[in-house]
Amino acid sequence: MIETVKRLYEERFATPAILVKAPGRINLIGEHTDYNNGFVMPAAIDKAMYFAMGKQNAGNLNTVYSVNYKEEISFTITSENPLPAWGRYLKAILTIFSDRGLSIAKINCILGGDIPVGAGLSSSAALCCGFIFGLSDLFDLNLSKKEIALIAQEAEHRIGLNCGLMDQYAVLFGKEDHVFCLDCQTLGLNYFPMKLEDYALVLINSKIEHELEGSPYNDRRNSCEAVVAIIAKDHPEVKSLRDVKKNLLVLYKEQISSLDFIRAKYVLDENERVAQMIEALERARFAEVGEILFRGHQGMSEEYDISLPEIDYLVELARAEPAILGSRMMGGGFGGCTINLVEKQNSTRALQTIKKKYLAKTGIEAEIYEIKLCDGLQKVEI
């Protein structure tokens, strides 16, 4: 794909000034904890978005072509022509640059990649971080990774998803063969070598594309913030669910709606699962790693209520396979991939069985991805 975006850029414009690679991500555990200042455990993967970019000499419109959508858009931050979803992110980014007084001129860009969209692999974070990095590099803005992450997050917020920072940090800070634990309160991160020995991580794409923008995701965030607001009345030091211990939450049970209570409890449990995961990984207790994945899914499905019957079925099928130690839905929810810890030796048949049964029940052809953990966003030599 890197060759394709470069060649298309040369054919359409000239030699690109820069090439950028922005990977997608997985998350081992810690779902919907990031916007609660909690803990997450993501990694960048070997699926990525590639950008060929250059400045325009003359021209009033930014021109961007998407290889995946076979679609070219020309726009400025004030133009009113309707844009496809991917174009709206780019326009949001350019608007944020303008709002922040970050000085740039018009650009040309060809982009494309192999991160499936709506699969919970952060294709939009890769799109945003890659584009922002490209602009920063082209116009010598020297934005730090943290600044890039914050601008990418703001673009998501402007599009309508009040996300946290996990995806952007995974895209930017990924490290080959490592996962990292991000403390979303301090934004400090710790890398852990992912030595899975006889096991491997495999994604099963349900092929149900999630649409996170809009209510269900933001609604979960609102629940968490409502709980914080109630507790903070008596405890001003409580700024987020990170500052709430379980016994404190229980004291407020009567004052909180039962729905919000269950959701807040899920978040506290999920933060604990991150700590448990670190311990299980450090001790190479893979059966326990798998159990934590299953428990995480149960929380997302039964408590946080962000799963779907089809995804629950994928996890149920995984549970029935001895060669699969653990499985859970990954990412924001309402579709996308499950992440599975599998025995390297015996998983092929198990995964095929799951695929077959899933097809029989849902009529959907699931996709299976074996993944490698990779370095985060980088400039590619031309």
Q: Which is nearer to ligand GLA, 332 or 376 (CB)?
A: 332
Q: Which is nearer to ligand GLA, 32 or 355 (CB)?
A: 32
Token pair recorded at residue 130: 């890659």
Max CA separation in the chain (angstroms): 65
Q: What's at 321, amino acid-wise?
A: E
Instruction: Work out how close the CB of 217 gets to ligand GLA at its nearest, in angstroms, rounded to a whole number.
Output: 7
Token pair recorded at residue 297: 């899914």
* CA separation for the pair 156, 213 (Å, rounded): 9
* CA separation for the pair 310, 356 (Å, rounded): 13
Q: Which is nearer to ligand GLA, 6 or 32 (CB)?
A: 32
Active-site residue, selected from the candidate residues 167, 183, 234, 269: 167
137 is catalytic: no
The gap from C-alpha 355 to its chain's centroid, in whole angstroms, comes to: 24
DSSP code, position 300: I
- Neighbouring CB atoms inside 10 A of 281's CB total 23
Instruction: Work out how close the CB of 297 gets to ligand GLA at its nearest, in angstroms, rounded to a whole number.
Output: 13
Q: Which is nearer to ligand GLA, 156 or 260 (CB)?
A: 156
The H-assigned helical ranges of 57-198 are 85-99, 123-138, 145-159, 166-173
Instruction: Work out how close the CB of 160 gets to ligand GLA at its nearest, in angstroms, rounded to a whole number.
Output: 12
Instruction: Work out how close the CB of 34 gets to ligand GLA at its nearest, in angstroms, rounded to a whole number.
Output: 5
Residue 44 backbone phi and psi in degrees, to 5: -85, 150
Token pair recorded at residue 28: 């081992």
Instruction: Work out how close the CB of 76 gets to ligand GLA at its nearest, in angstroms, rounded to a whole number.
Output: 27
Q: Which is nearer to ligand GLA, 212 or 350 (CB)?
A: 212
Q: How many CA atoms lie within 13 A of 317 on its CB side?
A: 27
How would you list the strands of the sheet with 178-183, edge to edge? 39-40, 178-183, 188-193
- Give per-residue burial for 40-53: e unless 16+ CB within 10 Å, then b: bbbbbbebbbbbbb
Rg of the chain over Cα atoms, rounded to whole angstroms, equals 21
Binding site for ligand GLA (CB under 6 A): 31-32, 34-35, 163-164, 166-167, 331-332
Instruction: Work out how close the CB of 275 gets to ligand GLA at its nearest, in angstroms, rounded to a whole number.
Output: 16
Q: Which is nearer to ligand GLA, 161 or 238 (CB)?
A: 161
What are the residue numbers of the active site?
167
